[in-house]
């Protein structure tokens, strides 16, 4: 454990958060955030796990602030890592403690003068509000000071603490979250990692006493940890991380193929009456996935549309625009090839088509559109929607 006083050797100016530039940073530190849907998913444990792994690789790792909340597994995982002592604040007869940013800077910056080893500080609960009269109001502000000094930071937070989601979380859970983190902190992070478990697993951990003390378990299950709340919060966390990487939404596989991270839905309409049904189903799918909607009509170059068919396609185009989608029209005598080409061009991940209208003999002789698309498409989900059966009045 290092000395936590704010003085250095004789003749040297005190090193604190107000004068951290005494040793100019060669670069701004990198920030990695571990985010989850709720307490207990394992964010802190995962952060400590990665801290240990990096220490084994020769990285200088220290714990700036750790909140175990009495969780035995978390406390055990911190063993073997250097922990910076907390700063004490006297408030009457009470002694409050909080992260000592000055001590972190002194420990890391003083060491960096003698070695070029990369340095990493692990800081728990990014949304925490500091003790009154602290130099800064919020812990994320302390993290920004550490980053500005050229020190890398790993931190943790729950999705409900994100500023832009505050009203939505309150509507979902009935809880108004007071401790919040500006969206820019997440946007500016070098990496955001989702630590995820199922709602059922999280409830099991709660019942086993791995999250809160026994007297708080039933109250938590009846309120914040209700299954419906956890499902909604999990979806928010998944979407937030997906949106965070959307700018780099195309990745490559080891063999060089492109794969899409963000969902895109394509509905294939035709002159058949069930096209409106397909479009509505596709719009619901796109809305559920928070994905852009595309609608495609492939015109046969060898035949003209009747007036009735043209009106039908116009209706589909109008409905697509009502769903805020993009309507595409291409001419090609090979429908399957046209769909595959559009899917590649617009990086489609989900395709909605209707069941084949061909007879069994036609499918045996020429094959169905579905069969052709399965052969042509890679890494794209195909949704085949059955036509609604009309019930004749008796």
Q: Mean pLDDT, 10 residues at a time, over the chain (394 residues)?
A: 36 47 66 95 95 92 94 93 93 89 89 66 96 92 95 95 88 88 91 93 93 91 91 89 60 51 86 88 86 93 88 93 93 91 91 70 55 84 71 39
| Strand 258-260 relative to strand 250-252, pairing | antiparallel
The predicted pLDDT at position 115 comes to: 57
* pTM metric for this prediction: 0.60
Q: Nearest 5°: phi and psi at 248?
A: -115, 50
Residues 297, 270: contact at Cβ < 8 Å? yes
Residues 46, 195: contact at Cβ < 8 Å? yes
**113-125 per-position pLDDT tens digit:** 555 556 899 999 9
Residues 20, 181: contact at Cβ < 8 Å? no
- The rounded distance, in Å, linking the Cα atoms of 267 and 328 is 10
The predicted pLDDT at position 381 comes to: 87
The predicted pLDDT at position 26 comes to: 62
Give the burial string for 3-28 (b: 16+ CB within 10 Å, else e): eeeeeeeeeeeebbbeebeebeeeee
- The rounded distance, in Å, linking the Cα atoms of 270 and 367 is 18
Residue 252 falls in which region: left (phi positive, over 0), alpha (psi -120 to 50) or beta: beta
């Amino acid at each position: 454990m290092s000395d936590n006083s704010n003085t250095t050797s004789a003749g040297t100016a005190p090193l604190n958060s107000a004068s951290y530039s005494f040793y100019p940073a060669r670069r701004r530190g990198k920030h990695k955030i571990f985010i989850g849907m709720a307490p207990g998913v394992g964010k802190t444990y995962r952060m400590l796990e990665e801290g240990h792994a990096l220490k084994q690789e020769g990285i200088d790792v220290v714990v700036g602030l750790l909140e175990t909340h009495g969780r035995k597994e978390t406390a055990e995982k911190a063993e073997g890592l250097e922990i910076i002592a907390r700063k004490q604040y006297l408030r009457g007869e009470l002694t409050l403690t909080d992260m000592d940013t000055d001590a972190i800077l002194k420990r890391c910056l003083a060491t960096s003068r003698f070695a070029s080893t990369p340095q990493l500080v692990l800081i728990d609960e990014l949304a925490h509000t500091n003790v009154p009269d602290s130099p800064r109001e919020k812990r994320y502000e302390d993290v920004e000071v550490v980053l500005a000094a050229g020190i890398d930071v790993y931190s943790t937070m729950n999705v409900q603490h994100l500023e832009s989601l505050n009203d939505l979380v309150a509507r979902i859970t009935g809880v108004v979250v007071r401790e919040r983190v500006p969206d820019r902190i997440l946007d500016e992070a070098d990496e955001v990692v989702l630590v995820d478990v199922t709602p059922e697993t999280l409830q099991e951990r709660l019942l086993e006493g791995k999250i809160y003390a026994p007297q708080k378990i039933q109250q938590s299950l009846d309120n914040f940890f209700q299954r419906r709340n956890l499902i909604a919060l999990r979806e928010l966390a998944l979407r937030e991380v997906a949106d965070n990487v959307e700018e780099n939404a195309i990745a490559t596989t080891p063999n060089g193929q492109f794969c899409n991270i963000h969902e895109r839905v394509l509905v294939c309409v035709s002159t058949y009456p069930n096209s409106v049904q397909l479009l509505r189903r596709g719009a619901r799918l796109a809305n559920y996935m928070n994905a852009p909607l595309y609608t495609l009509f492939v015109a046969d170059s060898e035949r003209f549309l009747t007036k009735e068919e043209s009106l039908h396609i116009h209706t589909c185009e109008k409905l697509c625009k009502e769903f805020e989608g993009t309507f595409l029209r291409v001419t090609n005598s090979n429908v399957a090839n046209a769909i595959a080409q559009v899917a590649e061009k617009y990086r489609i991940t989900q395709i909605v088509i209707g069941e084949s209208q061909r007879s069994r003999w036609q499918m045996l002789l020429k094959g169905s559109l579905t069969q052709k698309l399965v052969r042509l498409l890679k890494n794209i989900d195909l949704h085949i929607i059955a036509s609604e059966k009309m019930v004749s009045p008796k």
